[in-house]
C-alpha cells in the first residue's frame, strides 16, 4: 500500500486480539501479505508508504518526513475504523488523486482483521 492504509481511533481498552470484530492475529498475516511491502509497523520507519505505527486516530497525512499526495493532505480526516475500511477497500475512490498504487482489499472480514491489527500497534 502506498499512501496510508491506515489510522483508526485511539482504541483504549481494546484487546489486542479483537478490535471492531476483527482478529488482530489474522490481520497480522493479511498485513504481511497485502501491506508490508510498502508499509512498516515500526515507529519512524517509512517505506514506499508511511509507517502505520500508531495509525489509529492519527490525522491523515501527518507524518512530517513522508511525502503525501496533495489529495490526502487536503482530506483532513483522522483515521477511524470506518475511514480505514473505506480506504483499504478502494484507495483510489476514497482519495481521488492519491498516490496509493494498491487496488484494494475486497474481503470485508480481511479488512476488519487488518484494522484490528493496526489498532493493536501503538
Residues 6+ apart with CB under 8 A from 59: 7, 76, 77, 78, 79
The residues pairing with 23 across neighbouring beta strands, listed in sequence order, are: 18
Classify domain 18-120 at the CATH class level: mainly alpha
Domain ranges of the chain: 18-120
Residues 6+ apart with CB under 8 A from 73: 60, 61
Look at 4-8, 55-59, 78-82 and tell me which has the smallest mean pLDDT. 4-8
**Residue 92 neighbours by CB distance under 10 Å:** 16
Look at 6-10, 50-54, 77-81, 89-93 and tell me which has the smallest mean pLDDT. 6-10
Count CA within 13 A, CB hemisphere, residue 34.
Answer: 24
**pLDDT, tens only, 31-44:** 999 999 999 999 99
Confidence of residue 56 (pLDDT cuts 50, 70, 90): confident
Considering just the CA atoms, what is the radius of gyration of the chain in Å? 13
Amino acid at each position: 500500500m502506498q499512501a496510508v492504509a491506515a489510522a483508526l481511533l485511539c482504541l483504549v481498552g481494546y484487546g489486542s486480539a479483537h478490535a471492531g470484530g476483527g482478529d488482530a492475529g489474522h490481520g497480522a498475516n493479511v498485513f504481511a501479505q497485502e501491506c508490508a511491502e510498502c508499509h512498516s509497523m515500526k515507529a519512524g520507519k517509512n517505506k514506499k508508504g508511511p509507517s502505520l505505527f500508531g495509525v489509529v486516530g492519527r490525522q491523515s497525512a501527518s507524518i512530517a518526513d513522508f511525502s503525501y499526495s496533495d489529495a490526502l493532505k487536503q482530506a483532513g480526516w483522522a483515521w477511524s475504523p470506518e475511514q480505514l475500511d473505506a480506504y483499504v477497500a478502494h484507495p483510489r475512490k476514497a482519495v481521488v488523486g492519491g498516490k496509493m498504487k494498491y487496488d484494494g482489499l475486497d474481503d470485508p472480514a480481511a479488512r476488519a482483521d487488518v484494522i484490528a491489527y493496526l489498532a493493536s500497534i501503538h
